[in-house]
Amino acid sequence: MLFNYGTQSNAEALEKAMDKELLPLRKCSYHPNIVRMYSCFVDSFPLLNEAYVHYPMAIPTNISPDGYGRNKTLFIVMRRYDLTLSEYIHLSKPTHHERLLLFAQLLEALVYLKRHSIVHRDVKSDNLLICSSTGELVLADFGCALYQPPNLKQSYTTDEICKGGNLALMAPEVSFIFCQT
């Protein structure tokens, strides 16, 4: 379930506004290290048991006066993964060899995305999911991604153009790019 704070509560508008999240579904075939998405759909926001604890601001205003969410939101049907990378490292204490295998899987995912003209731009441990039974690592959460075929080049003609991605994790050579006029 993706949280909808400002998009109209209709399927077309939601899918257009959240299209980056759907890049693996729309632009990629199966890869073992990219989150497996089967489909997506728009439906009413469900008020789950612990919503007021875990995401109170996402609750629609017609349900909670303190919420900022909209009535409809986008749901992605995907495989369920057990842990994030940080949870896995904390709980399992992987060996040096196991850590190298995880890193290799991450690199496989990034190379695959590059071949499909996609840059993730938000690689962090919370967006790396682990299947504890197989040790499989997958890259998830494509909300900051860039799809720029054929060569991934993005021009910044003014300093006001958003570079995208997560600013806290952005490489210095990207975050400090200034327009040359």
- Catalytic positions, please? 122
Do 76 and 40 form a contact (C-beta atoms < 8 A)? Answer: yes
Do 61 and 68 form a contact (C-beta atoms < 8 A)? Answer: yes
Which amino acid appears at position 35 of this protein? V
Residue 38 CA: distances (Å) to CA of 11, 19, 32, 142, 156: 17, 15, 14, 15, 34
Do 39 and 74 form a contact (C-beta atoms < 8 A)? Answer: no
Residue 98 CA: distances (Å) to CA of 7, 73, 101, 119, 159: 42, 38, 5, 26, 42
Burial 74-87 (b: 16+ CB within 10 A, else e): bebebeebebbbee
As to burial, measured by CB atoms within 10 angstroms (0-12 exposed, 13-18 middle, 19+ buried), residue 3 is: middle
